[in-house]
Amino acid sequence: MSEYPQSSGAPAVAQLSERIDTTRPHSARFWNYFVGGKDNYEVDREIGEQIRTFFPGLVDVAVAGRQFLRRSVRHLVEERGIRQFLDIGTGLPTADNTHQVAQSFAPEARIVYVDNDPLVLAHARALLTSTPEGATDYIDADLYDPQAVLAEAAKTLDFDRPVALMLLGILGHADDFGHARDIVGRLMAGLPSGSHLVVYDGTRTSEGMIAAEEAYIESGAVPYYVREPDEIATLFDGLRWVEPGFVRLSEWHPDADSATVPADVDAFGGVGYKE
């Protein structure tokens, strides 16, 4: 594996350290704690344990989300012929990151990660690698500036060929869902025919999940809003579904690992493509 190439726009380590806020929980670190990672702080673990006491199902959502990433990327590579991925809201690197899954089946795959969390950026520079045949890059950019994201991603990805846009567990941070739909539409408009959209988010499908949302927001973290599955599915308007459509994560091309989380996990996801 080659060393991860540092993006020309990546900030210096000292600058990243100054941007890390350890006084309130952060979703990337909070989720890292739930999937067994070590890149989190006491404030993240405290709210994690608080929520776990009354809604242990949130851990299942975190695990199911990681499983969905692995299954959807493999499906896109093996069944849909995708070799390029734009993963926005990457989160902290753990096992089975997008580039690891994609390049394990297609070594020539090219992946661009996008995030603007300083801790994520610091770890990505050190941990994300690529096969010699493929490429990875990491952009310090904001989901809410889709044109800048596309412009930077085009330095690594070939926009004359299909791209998979990955938005996994990130759009719940949008307080205005109409704005989120607009952003997704603008991103997909910049990608060629044959490109795919991959989305999953936590859903408003149990009292426990709603209580977890409230507790997380009250902790002082950047809010994460759980929504009805039918609302999230409107992100795919104008696209064609990849079967089985927008379903609970446990129902999307299940494999042996899927049985490790409850069938009624409070998270839905799907894949659609642009004709």
Please give the average per-residue pLDDT across 162-181, as a whole number.
Answer: 95
Q: How far apart are CA 241 and CA 32, in angstroms?
A: 30
Residue 4 has pLDDT above 80, yes or no: no
**73 three-state secondary structure:** helix
Query: What is the model's pLDDT at position 29?
Result: 81
- DSSP state letters, 8-28: TTPPPHHHHHHH---SS--HH
Q: How far apart are CA 250 and CA 262, in angstroms?
A: 7
Residue 6 has pLDDT above 90, yes or no: no
Query: What is the model's pLDDT at position 164?
Result: 98
Residue 129 has pLDDT above 80, yes or no: yes
Residue 225 has pLDDT above 50, yes or no: yes
Q: How far is CA 224 from CA 108, 121, 202, 216, in A?
A: 35, 21, 9, 8
Q: Tell me the pairing of strands 247-248 and 196-202.
A: unpaired
Query: What is the model's pLDDT at position 154?
Result: 97
What percent of the chain is modeled with pLDDT above 90?
62
Query: What is the model's pLDDT at position 15?
Result: 57
Please give the average per-residue pLDDT across 70-85, as a whole number.
Answer: 98
- DSSP state letters, 190-227: TS-TT-EEEEEEEBS-SHHHHHHHHHHHHTTSPP---B
Query: What is the model's pLDDT at position 19?
Result: 63
Chain mean pLDDT for the chain: 88
Residue 1 has pLDDT above 60, yes or no: no
Q: How far apart are CA 177 and CA 173, in angstroms?
A: 9
Q: Which residue has the higher pLDDT, 219 or 1?
A: 219
Whether the Cβ atoms of residue 90 and residue 4 lie closer than 8 Å to each other: no
Please give the average per-residue pLDDT across 100-117, as a whole number.
Answer: 94
202 beta partners: 267
Whether the Cβ atoms of residue 77 and residue 83 lie closer than 8 Å to each other: yes
Query: What is the model's pLDDT at position 127?
Result: 63
Please give the average per-residue pLDDT across 42-47, as a whole number.
Answer: 87
Please give the average per-residue pLDDT across 98-119, as a whole number.
Answer: 92
Residue 33 has pLDDT above 70, yes or no: yes
Q: How far apart are CA 228 and CA 71, in angstroms?
A: 23
Whether the Cβ atoms of residue 21 and residue 29 lie closer than 8 Å to each other: no
Query: What is the model's pLDDT at position 92?
Result: 77
Q: What is the per-residue pLDDT across 247-268, written as a single tens digit (0 to 9) for each?
A: 999 999 999 988 899 999 999 9
Query: What is the model's pLDDT at position 17?
Result: 57
pTM: 0.88
